[in-house]
Chain A
Amino acid sequence: MRRTWAKASLLALLALGGSAFAQVIRVGVVGPMAFVQGEHTWYGATLAAEEINREGGVVVGGRPFRIELVRVDTNEITSVTDAATAVERAITAQRVDFLIGGFRSEAVLAMSEVAADYKKPFIITGAALDGILAGRVDRNYERFKYLFRVSPNKSSDLARTSLLLLGEVVQAVRQQLNLSRPKVAILAERAAWADPLVETASRLIAAPPPQGYGAEVVGVWRPSATATDVTPELTAIQRAQAQVIYTVLSGPVGVPFGRDWGRLKIPAAPVGINVEAQQETWLQATDGLGVYVATLNTLAPGVAITPKTLPFISNFQSRFKRFPIYTASGAYVALHILKEAILRAGSLEADAVVKALEATDYVGPSGRIVFDKVHDVTWGPGYTTGLGVQWVGSRMQAFWPRAWRVGDRVVGYAGVRPYQLPPWVVEAWRR
């Protein structure tokens, strides 16, 4: 009997000594875990949770809480219904206190309805549609106040940045190829989010400077977001004698585009949005043919957007052996923001945490995070802007912002290099 008591006491002591945490905060990390977007959401959250727990967790009311992550595979790329069900199960069965993540806008709309119904704060890290927050948080605050977004910038801001990148490339064509009125082809996937972008780009490209780019639109091509072959489109673009291709591609079509463009050496420089080209696997996916493709991105190797950028990239790479995509930095920053908000609120109660989240002013790896009135991340110099990146040789390098003039300010980050026109474009058009 005495031996049994001794054993039990020893086990109790070991249990207490093994962990300094009395309780846990359960955070559901939601995303399509079989896909790179979900995988990186999980990695980003894991890195942040390890840092927070190592530093003593989150102290609420004098008691330390450990962050415990719950992996919520939403399968949202193939099924919106699965996504909503997964979030509901995470809340009701796995008892999560907070949610971070989400990737596909349609799925996030459904998942965020569930989160709002259960009054669970949900920090979105992957979906760009403006309407996830605008028109919901402002019009029905009491129901949707639990939703926030840290990344990416909303679609209309992404559009703004991608058009700035286009301006940079049009300028390079004008100066380096001595063409006074460069020709631009627009290649935009057939999706609702791309429509306003095509319209704005068409207007802006053709308008005379300084409002527009003083260039010519030679045509608009709208392939399906899942097209596996864009050779006919590229042949037609070549025939239209374009020197620049403005891409608006978020779906898998980005890969065949890069591969066919490189293989056929189409003499037009691609720039804009190509989500597939944001990933470090781009060259593998395009069989090495996607070199010189330029796209909007969040992070780039060696570019210090804030003092936290390079340490984050380095820690992430040594822990997971890969370069983080935007869902990784988003989930990482979301968890840190959540921790700070809980500390400020001094409570785990959802409404108190929401109030504290609204007061967020946090410098993360991709910029300074301040929420606007609809709980969206603020875009612009001094906040988050994104980067323009281009594949040169075997690596991704940033070319924007380098000397971006905003009023009296000139915005640029260390490590950003000039844009390079593909050599076969130069060869085809130099006069």
Chain B
Amino acid sequence: MLAAILVNGLVLSGIYGMLALGFALTYGVARILNLAHTAFYMAASYFLFFLLGYTGFLPAALLAALLVLGLALLAYRFLLEPLREHEATVLIVTIAIALLFQEVLLLLFGGHFRSVPALLPGFVELLGVRVAQQALLALAFAALVLLLAWAFLKGSRIGLAIRAAAQDMEAAELVGVSLSRAGYWAVGLGALLAALAGLAVAPMATLEPHMWTAPLLVVLAAVVLGGLGSLPGALLGAVILAFAEVVVVNLVPGGAFLRTAVALSVLVLVLVLKPEGLFGTSFAEER
């Protein structure tokens, strides 16, 4: 049982981790609680599904990621940046964007369940547990994407600007960092991470126009659990929630439907004991 929990928990962590990092990045720098984050993830999966009818996996995936990036930057330029100071309005606009995506996909593809063929079919046995090769590929891809994102943020001038803006906007502006440009980079990078998560998950997921809602809940929980705005916190939050879900299914099979509820209870418990989350600042002190 321990092996099953370990292997399945790790795979789920990779997927949640990618989504959570992108969300945390957008909030950390652009200060946008982007409730459309998982709608971008859904859009990438659908773009991939659609483009696979015309071209191979790699060009389709690349194009899908670029299209999502373009959509995110347009949304930021015309809808979110002008409203950035009004946090509640931004929240409403992002949820409206997500619902718009949902309705457009419903109109174009109907409510049917779609799937994208796996790049790596079949399974391997790890510690006596059957794991889909596609899931391992997604895990490796997630690790690579997270490392690259980390390297970009730590090692490039733009990364430095993004981190400076995340730490102290006014000070960063005083030393010549363009907050607007840093905002664009953060939103773009966040959307790109969502798109890459969508591309990694598409061959394992069921595509349907409401697929953005379930991961959004987990991502929000992971980011708050880790501490709003903290990138390592978001990753740790994702790992904790993923393992909480897998433990519930293995230890309480009759209550498997409670997996998300139990994960959210872990979140509440942590927040009661440590209101700022594991790595972040508290809600009261935010900004």
Which residues of A (235-275) have their CB < 8 Å from a CB of B? 235-236, 238-239, 252, 255-256, 259-260, 263-266
Partner of A236, one of B12, B112, B249: B249
**CB <8 Å contact, A222 and B110:** no
**CB <8 Å contact, A77 and B117:** no
**CB <8 Å contact, A235 and B253:** no
Which of B68-76, B127-135, B233-241 contacts the other chain? B127-135
Chain B: CB-nearest residue to A276? B113
**CB <8 Å contact, B111 and A227:** no
**CB <8 Å contact, B121 and A263:** yes
Size of interface on B: residues with Cβ below 8 Å to A? 44
Q: Which residues of chain A are within 8 angstroms of B129 by Cβ–Cβ distance?
A: 235
**CB <8 Å contact, A232 and B4:** yes
Partner of A287, one of B115, B211, B214: B115
Q: Which residues of chain A are within 8 angstroms of B259 by Cβ–Cβ distance?
A: 224, 227
- One digit per residue, 1 when the CB lies within 8 angstroms of any chain A CB and 0 when it does not, for chain B 193-222 equals 000000000011110101100100000000
Q: Given A221-B256, A222-B253, A228-B211, check contact A263 B134 (CB 8 Å).
A: yes
Chain B: CB-nearest residue to A234? B130
A36 within 8 A of B: yes
B118 within 8 A of A: yes
B106 within 8 A of A: yes
Min CB gap A227→B, angstroms: 7
B186 within 8 A of A: no
Q: Given A77-B111, A232-B8, check contact A287 B249 (CB 8 Å).
A: no
In the complex, which of the residues B11, B204, B256 has the most CB atoms of chain A within 10 Å of its own CB atom? B256
Min CB gap A217→B, angstroms: 12
**CB <8 Å contact, A255 and B206:** yes
In the complex, which of the residues B214, B246, B253, B255 has the most CB atoms of chain A within 10 Å of its own CB atom? B253
A226 within 8 A of B: yes
Chain A: CB-nearest residue to B128? A239
Q: Which residues of chain B are within 8 angstroms of A190 by Cβ–Cβ distance?
A: 256-257
B122 within 8 A of A: yes
Q: Which residues of chain B are within 8 angstroms of A88 by Cβ–Cβ distance?
A: none
In the complex, which of the residues A32, A222, A281 has the most CB atoms of chain B within 10 Å of its own CB atom? A222
**CB <8 Å contact, B253 and A221:** yes
Query: What CA separation (Å) do A369 and B1 show in the bound complex?
Result: 50
Q: Which residues of chain B are within 8 angstroms of A259 by Cβ–Cβ distance?
A: 115, 204, 206
B123 within 8 A of A: yes
- One digit per residue, 1 when the CB lies within 8 angstroms of any chain B CB and 0 when it does not, for chain A 366-391 equals 00000000000000000000000000
Q: Which residues of chain A are within 8 angstroms of B250 by Cβ–Cβ distance?
A: 232, 235-236
Q: Given A36-B112, A235-B4, A252-B113, check contact A266 B130 (CB 8 Å).
A: yes
B254 within 8 A of A: yes
Q: Which residues of chain B are within 8 angstroms of A285 by Cβ–Cβ distance?
A: 112-115, 206
**CB <8 Å contact, B132 and A239:** no
Query: What CA separation (Å) do A372 and B227 show in the bound complex?
Result: 60
Q: Given A34-B106, A39-B110, A236-B250, check contact A226 B115 (CB 8 Å).
A: no
A404 within 8 A of B: no
B245 within 8 A of A: yes
Query: What CA separation (Å) do A396 and B1 show in the bound complex?
Result: 36
B116 within 8 A of A: yes
In the complex, which of the residues B107, B110, B122 has the most CB atoms of chain A within 10 Å of its own CB atom? B110
Query: What CA separation (Å) do A259 and B201 show in the bound complex?
Result: 13
A286 within 8 A of B: yes
Q: Which residues of chain B are within 8 angstroms of A238 by Cβ–Cβ distance?
A: 130
A284 within 8 A of B: yes
Query: What CA separation (Å) do A222 and B249 show in the bound complex?
Result: 9
Partner of A286, one of B115, B255, B257, B260: B115
Q: Which residues of chain B are within 8 angstroms of A77 by Cβ–Cβ distance?
A: 111
Q: Given A232-B250, A233-B256, check contact A34 B130 (CB 8 Å).
A: no
Partner of B246, one of A32, A34, A232, A265: A232
**CB <8 Å contact, B115 and A223:** no
Min CB gap A242→B, angstroms: 12
Q: Which residues of chain B are within 8 angstroms of A189 by Cβ–Cβ distance?
A: 257
Q: Which residues of chain A are within 8 angstroms of B135 by Cβ–Cβ distance?
A: 231
**CB <8 Å contact, B257 and A227:** yes
- One digit per residue, 1 when the CB lies within 8 angstroms of any chain B CB and 0 when it does not, for chain A 9-28 equals 00000000000000000000
Min CB gap B215→A, angstroms: 8
Query: What CA separation (Å) do A168 and B166 show in the bound complex?
Result: 63
A320 within 8 A of B: no
Q: Which residues of chain A are within 8 angstroms of B208 by Cβ–Cβ distance?
A: 252
Q: Which residues of chain B are within 8 angstroms of A233 by Cβ–Cβ distance?
A: 249, 253, 256
Query: What CA separation (Å) do A200 and B113 show in the bound complex?
Result: 31
Query: What CA separation (Å) do A345 and B149 show in the bound complex?
Result: 73
Chain B: CB-nearest residue to A77? B111
Q: Given A220-B253, A231-B8, check contact A34 B110 (CB 8 Å).
A: yes
Which residues of B (20-57) have their CB < 8 Å from a CB of A? none
Q: Given A34-B106, A228-B211, check contact A287 B117 (CB 8 Å).
A: yes
**CB <8 Å contact, B205 and A236:** no
**CB <8 Å contact, A235 and B130:** yes
- One digit per residue, 1 when the CB lies within 8 angstroms of any chain A CB and 0 when it does not, for chain B 89-122 equals 0000000000000000011001111111110011
Query: What CA separation (Å) do A264 and B11 show in the bound complex?
Result: 14
In the complex, which of the residues B106, B206, B254 has the most CB atoms of chain A within 10 Å of its own CB atom? B206
Q: Which residues of chain B are within 8 angstroms of A236 by Cβ–Cβ distance?
A: 1, 4, 249-250, 253
Q: Given A264-B130, A265-B130, check contact A256 B206 (CB 8 Å).
A: yes
Query: What CA separation (Å) do A235 and B125 show in the bound complex?
Result: 11
Q: Which residues of chain B are within 8 angstroms of A226 by Cβ–Cβ distance?
A: 214
Query: What CA separation (Å) do A223 and B114 show in the bound complex?
Result: 21
Query: What CA separation (Å) do A264 and B111 show in the bound complex?
Result: 27
Chain B: CB-nearest residue to A221? B253
21 inter-chain pairs at a CB distance below 8 angstroms, sorted by A residue, are: A34-B110, A35-B110, A190-B257, A220-B253, A223-B256, A224-B256, A224-B257, A227-B259, A228-B211, A232-B4, A233-B249, A236-B1, A252-B113, A252-B206, A255-B113, A255-B115, A260-B132, A263-B118, A263-B121, A265-B123, A284-B115
CB-CB nearest 10 A-B residue pairs: A190-B257, A35-B111, A232-B249, A224-B257, A285-B113, A287-B115, A264-B130, A255-B206, A221-B253, A235-B4
Q: A34-B106, A264-B123 are in contact. List 13 more A-B contacts (CB 8 A).
A: A189-B257, A222-B255, A229-B204, A231-B8, A231-B135, A232-B246, A252-B208, A259-B204, A263-B118, A265-B123, A276-B113, A287-B115, A287-B203
